[in-house]
Amino acid sequence: MENKNAKAVVEAMNDRSHHPFSPSQLEAIELCPGRFSLCRDLPERAGDAAVEGTRLHAAMAMVLLDPNSAWDEGLNQDQKSLIDICESFVAEILRSGSGMSYYVEEKLRLMQDGAVLTEGTPDLYILDEEHREATVIDYKFGWGEIEDAANNLQMAALAAMVWQTYPSVVRVRSILLQPRLHGKSEHIFEGEGVFLNIIGQIGKIIDRASAPDAPRIPGKKQCRYCRGMLQCPEAVAAGLSTNMLTLPPKPSCDLALAMPDLLDRVELCEVLCKEIRDRAHQLISNGYVIPGWGLRPGNKVRKGQDINLLYSIMSELGCTPEEFVNVCSVKIGECEAMGVEKMVARAKSAGQDMTKRQAAEILSQRMIESGAVVLEQQKDRLVKKKTQ
């Protein structure tokens, strides 16, 4: 691993400017080529989820570069447990072989015919030169569905960058790690032909998006995080179209056949409505006047601050410990994270080697088998099937 200062890396992450065709934007630009020119001069906007994601990525960088740093400063227990999951996962990979080197938040380039196609910064990549392979890991800290690494253009681009940067590498294992969902997806890109196809595909995406008449094609996936959505006539027209309310008459089979188009329109409409509300809130907060609209102060919500003090008050009223526990709720994630720390510390004091990941698996199984924790089946969700 290159000797880098953790603080400097985090500062660089916060100040980072993205390539116009950054790997994370390629899929959206492929779906909507006109998005590139529409958004090119618009300022970046970061929501709460993006701010949290940046902070957690910075924490992982600090953990790997300087474990003794104050990486957990400002993080709650749930966020710390996410970092623990990622750190344990990475540690297991590094222990699985010898002579590995790893690189944290290192910017790479992808070239074609002597020109830079794009630049990207993998969260982490690991080189195993003995076996002529590399591993690229990208952390996804959100609640979105588990993504498929095999069909993820961002991961394909990062894999191609590593392959192109290190001539000895013949295969790249790409891993999407989603700790909040306790999930991961991985795919191996291997062979010169595969990487050249990726480079060619990205080149075509950029050529199409760079054309003066690049079409704007609205859709839920490409519009969701598009900062130019409200300046896009096609997206506004598609999202607010009254045609979506025209349902076919019975029988129900006709309605079922009409549903795919209706559901696509509804999804886009939901994205557009959220964008309109968020933008209006931002404008009023910044002093602009929207006739007939304003901001109402949020309700004050009571929150238990000190459970011990709260129990003291309730016990004075005759509340028993059992009665008090029955009206309290437990944050399973935070409880599990605390238990994992205790298990690892206990194993260490006994001279045993136990990773946080191993401890989490043992504790989770014990919680379920004892009946302390139950798995509740949630209501089925309507989702769009992935096309092959």
Express each pLDDT in 22-38 by its tens digit.
Answer: 999 999 999 999 999 99
CB atoms within 10 A of CB 265: 19
Q: How confident is the model at residue 147 (pLDDT cuts 50, 70, 90)?
A: confident
CATH of domain 6-210: 3.90.320
Query: 105: Cβ–Cβ under 8 A, 6 or more apart, which residues?
Result: 9, 12, 13, 57, 61, 121, 122, 123, 124
Q: Looking at residue 2, what is its pLDDT? A: 44
pTM summary value: 0.77
For the chain, the domains span 6-210, 220-285, 307-370
Q: Considering only residues 244 and 87, tell me which one the structure prediction assigns the higher pLDDT.
A: 87
As a whole number of angstroms, the distance between CA 189 and CA 187 comes to: 7
- For 320-340, write each residue's pLDDT tens digit: 999 998 898 888 888 888 888
Q: What are the b/e assignments for 78-91, b being 16+ CB within 10 Å? A: ebbbbbbbbbbbbe
pLDDT for the residue 244 = 47
**Tokens 């297991």 — which residue?**
92
pLDDT above 70 covers a percentage of the chain that reads 91
pLDDT of residue 388: 55
Q: What number is the average pLDDT over the span 51-78? A: 88
Q: Which helix (H) or strand (E) holds 303?
A: none
Q: Does residue 274 or residue 196 have the better pLDDT?
A: 196
- At residue 243 the predicted structure's pLDDT band, cuts being 50, 70 and 90, is low
Angle subtended by helix axes 153-165 and 192-210, to nearest 10: 120
Give the residue-averaged pLDDT of 246-268: 72
Q: What is the pLDDT of residues 165-189, one digit of tens each?
A: 999 999 999 999 999 888 899 999 9
195, 159 Cβ separation under 8 angstroms? yes
In this structure, the dihedral spanned by the alpha carbons of residues 176, 229, 41 and 50, taken in order and rounded to 10 degrees, is -40
Q: Which pair of structure tokens corresponds to residue 279? A: 């933008």
Phi and psi, residue 170, nearest 5°: -110, -15
Mean pLDDT of 126-132: 92
Using N-to-C axis directions, what is the helix angle for 77-95 and 356-370, rounded to 10°?
120
The 8-class DSSP code of residue 16 comes to P
